[in-house]
A and B are shown apart, each in its own frame.
Chain A
């Protein structure tokens, strides 16, 4: 078509025009690319902000529970509800552990079609396991327990910091966060071969949570660890932590897949997680760890800690008494000695708690927790940070010798070292500040990197912990490499995954991938559009969950009660409630697609279009529903904590008590009648117990116009959640 003889002449004649036209199109195209990039960036911002504030919420919740633990009498019901999660592992002797986790009684039925394992494990079995999981098989709990036992035995022999080398021209492959995404691990093995004598691997933490195949990933990694103990190295991540697992899906996954033995598996995993090494050093020059460093990080200290004492990084280990040599290493919290002078708080004293200053626990990040190990008011630690826990109480006196105070100092140091290692993020400015977005660890700057690397004679720091668009990112003058191996983490098409290979030259070679054949067919525009829609949906949900607060905030700008605010005020109000640091002006049209009245926004109109679907919710107060909806993640976490035997059910009585607990946490009045109403609604079959999943399912946001689909488990159900108690004007 159109192939005239004089084409070239025509062309030449109008070349000026042709050039102008070309430029026109090129300009247009570049504008389109820039706008797409803009959308991609704020979409990313949205997901990341919500993810991190969810982590923060989790930590706050945990702080709250810890606060309760410290301030309720040992015998109180509330304490009993939750004390078990603070109870470090009972039973210390190895033999006792082995008996407790004995798998020998577990029969494997004939009908079982999954892999059978015999120990010691062979490479064929490990490879067979990968194949089996690829084919969606599940490993029988007998073998799971057996495998975990062997893994535990192996891990116990490892030092805190693995030191490995690229001798014999071996290239070491390092992978970042996997987060239960089996497809990505399979893709890595496909591209890079499985671990072997010639193919050493380092896996840099966060194997579990969020994705749906966390246990399978663990089993694969552990198998290869057993088969190639010198070639496979695992670093602990902040998600290798049973407290975090309660919220982010791993606990639920295991209980669902292993209905009979899930609880034991989880218990054993708690132990295993605490025995995972903290870091790996390659050729004495490259340090690999999960989160990062701070200005106080000291590899010498880290090499010496008893890492297994830190079952959860969120809680410092109990103080070891000098006189308790006979006690197990992990002592039970109930053995605290309470000062007779200390005011005992009784159940009724929930009212007492309400008069405690609001920021006694909500505003605290984990750094502030160091105060809780104070042993002596005269101790210098008192001055490090003012402890609000001392308000009105004598500092809990323990029967310590004075010499223990220096020991407690080192306990705090150790704890902080581990916390920083697992939770920190790099920042671009110099310095080192607490990581208040996540609630734990630090933000550390290029000067800290420089200093740290020099001090330890290292040249590169490889870490993970943060999702990156391209699967990896260098910073701090290429001295820090962030590596993330879970592709499509936020949504299909959101990001690639990457792994890195280091040869003897220690030059990082990066490899990227993206799991899912669907990706290839999406154009950039479609991919960005999809992820953007997903992010906006989540954001809308979050905004709806804060309806009351938002309307209050809008009203402060609308003294005449016209129902309208200007864009600037709208953006300020929203940020003051949501605290997400997002470009609200840019997002406005997507969030609130209502017509404006002369540049003003009608802030009621949007909320009217959405509604929370609740179970026969008519007789339940709207604002209660809203609170439920907003904090549903926290509720679910607390319910799972209360459900000590991990059955998936809690009794009505526990439910009632949980509400009392929550009402303190949320500082809201909730009468017994309201709770009874709720109970009646939830306990459909009147059998005196409540199904946690059913309860959570009951509260979903529906759009009157179009039903919202269930998003990824990250954002619904076990969704991240914002507990913005500081900003709650109702208090």
Chain B
């Protein structure tokens, strides 16, 4: 793509604005759908990143900016956060964006300074998962308690529950994980997926 010659990124010494309001990290949304979701006040979020971190994030942000206006589309925000190591659900991100419509997701854009408090919110949320969480999560589907889950069942679950995955996504995820009986050893699986 054409380099963004004409549109320079803001000066590197942009400091995170210090907010005097009480730091109010957004409460972690429940995985189950809630009837009404309170809006998040982003201006109340205290952005506490170091200059180094901000530079890191700016780089990632820039990589996803396909237009060259130093902004990204709403529908890219979740991916940038994930690329930066966070794990938000789509629902969490939609809340941060103010519950945008499908049109908004493609049409509206957010600039880097607006992105930072969103990222901060996600980072502050206690909804972190580690190796054990994933293993436990998969153990739910381990009917025989023998350390394996049925690949077929996993597919059904992933495509029907939660934030549904498409068939292609599931295929890519499961590629090479099922043994000759169609079972997946989930501890190995989790180690594998966490190693990328």
Interface residues of A (CB under 8 A from B): 1-4, 7, 10, 14, 16-38, 41-42, 45, 48, 425-429, 431, 433, 436-437, 443, 523-525, 567-568, 571, 581, 583-586
The contact string, 1 if C-beta is below 8 Å from chain A, for chain B 1-27, is 111011100000000000000000000
Q: A22-B158, A25-B158 are in contact. Are A2 and B143 (CB under 8 A)?
A: yes
Write the nearest CB–CB distance from A542 to chain B, whole angstroms: 17
Complex Cα distance, B175 from A33, in Å, reads: 14
CB atoms of A17 and B6 under 8 A apart: no
Name the contact of B32 in the complex, choosing from A4, A16, A29, A427 (C-beta under 8 A).
Answer: A16
Report A-chain residues with C-beta under 8 Å of the C-beta of B32: 16, 19
**Binding site secondary structure of chain A:** helix
CB distance from B172 to the nearest CB of A (A): 6
A38 touches B83 (CB 8 A): yes
Contacts of A22 in B (CB 8 A): 157-158, 161-162
**Cα A524 to Cα B175 with chains together (Å):** 10
Q: Which residue of A lies closest to B149 (CB)?
A: A2
Q: How far is the CA of A16 from the CA of B33 in the complex (A)?
A: 11
The distance from the CB of B104 to the nearest CB of chain A, in whole angstroms, is 19
Across-interface contacts of B157 in A (CB, < 8 A): 18, 21-22
CB pairs A–B below 8 angstroms (27 shown): A1-B144, A2-B150, A2-B183, A14-B140, A16-B32, A18-B141, A18-B157, A22-B157, A26-B89, A26-B165, A27-B163, A29-B173, A30-B163, A31-B82, A31-B83, A32-B196, A33-B169, A35-B82, A426-B2, A427-B5, A429-B68, A431-B6, A443-B5, A525-B196, A583-B63, A584-B59, A586-B63
Q: Please provide the 9 A-B residue pairs with the shortest distance between their CB atoms, ordered closest to farther.
A: A34-B82, A21-B137, A22-B162, A23-B162, A427-B2, A31-B82, A2-B143, A22-B161, A34-B79
Q: Are B6 and A429 in contact (CB under 8 A)?
A: yes
| Residues A1 and B79 in contact, CB atoms below 8 Å apart | no
**Which residues of chain B from 75 to 108 have any CB-CB distance to chain A below 8 Å in the complex?**
78-83, 85-90
Identity of the chain B residue whose Cβ is nearest the Cβ of A430 in the assembled complex = B6
Q: In the assembled complex, which residues on chain A have CB atoms less than 8 Å from the CB atom of B6?
A: 427, 429, 431, 433
- Select from chain A the residue with minimum beta-carbon distance to B2: A427
Residues of A within 8 A of B63 (CB): 38, 41-42, 45, 583, 586
A24 to B163, CA, bound (A): 9
Docked CA distance A243–B27 (Å): 64
B183-A24 in contact (CB<8A): no
Q: Which residue of B is nearest A35, CB measured?
A: B83
Known: A1-B150, A428-B68. A34 touches B80 (CB 8 A): yes
Across-interface contacts of B68 in A (CB, < 8 A): 427-429
Question: Is B35 at the interface (CB under 8 A from chain A)?
Answer: no
Q: Is B138 an interface residue, CB under 8 A from the partner?
A: yes
Selecting from B36-44, B48-56, B110-118, the interface stretch reads B48-56
B193 contacts chain A at the CB level, 8 A cutoff = yes
Q: Is the CB of B137 within 8 A of A25?
A: yes
Chain B 149-196 residues near chain A, CB threshold 8 A: 149-150, 157-158, 161-165, 169, 172-173, 175-176, 181-183, 193, 196
Q: How far is the CB of A692 from chain B (nearest CB, A)?
A: 34
A197 CB, min distance to chain B CBs, angstroms? 39
In whole angstroms, how far apart are the Cα atoms of A19 and B157 in the complex?
8
| Beta-carbon nearest neighbor of B12 in chain A | A568
Contacting residues, chain A, for B173 (C-beta < 8 A): 25, 29
Interface status of B28 (Cβ within 8 A of chain A) = no
Q: Is the CB of A568 within 8 A of B51?
A: yes
A3 and B143 alpha carbons, distance in the complex (Å) = 8
Tell me which residues across on chain A come within 8 A of B78, comparing CB atoms. 30, 34
- Is B129 part of the binding interface, using a Cβ–Cβ cutoff of 8 Å? yes
Contact between chains at A425 and B2 (CB < 8 Å): yes
Known contacts A41-B63, A523-B175, A567-B52; decide if A28 and B134 are in contact (CB<8 Å): yes
Chain A residues near B69 (CB-CB < 8 A): 428-429
Q: In the bound complex, what is the Cα–Cα distance between A428 and B65 (angstroms)?
A: 11
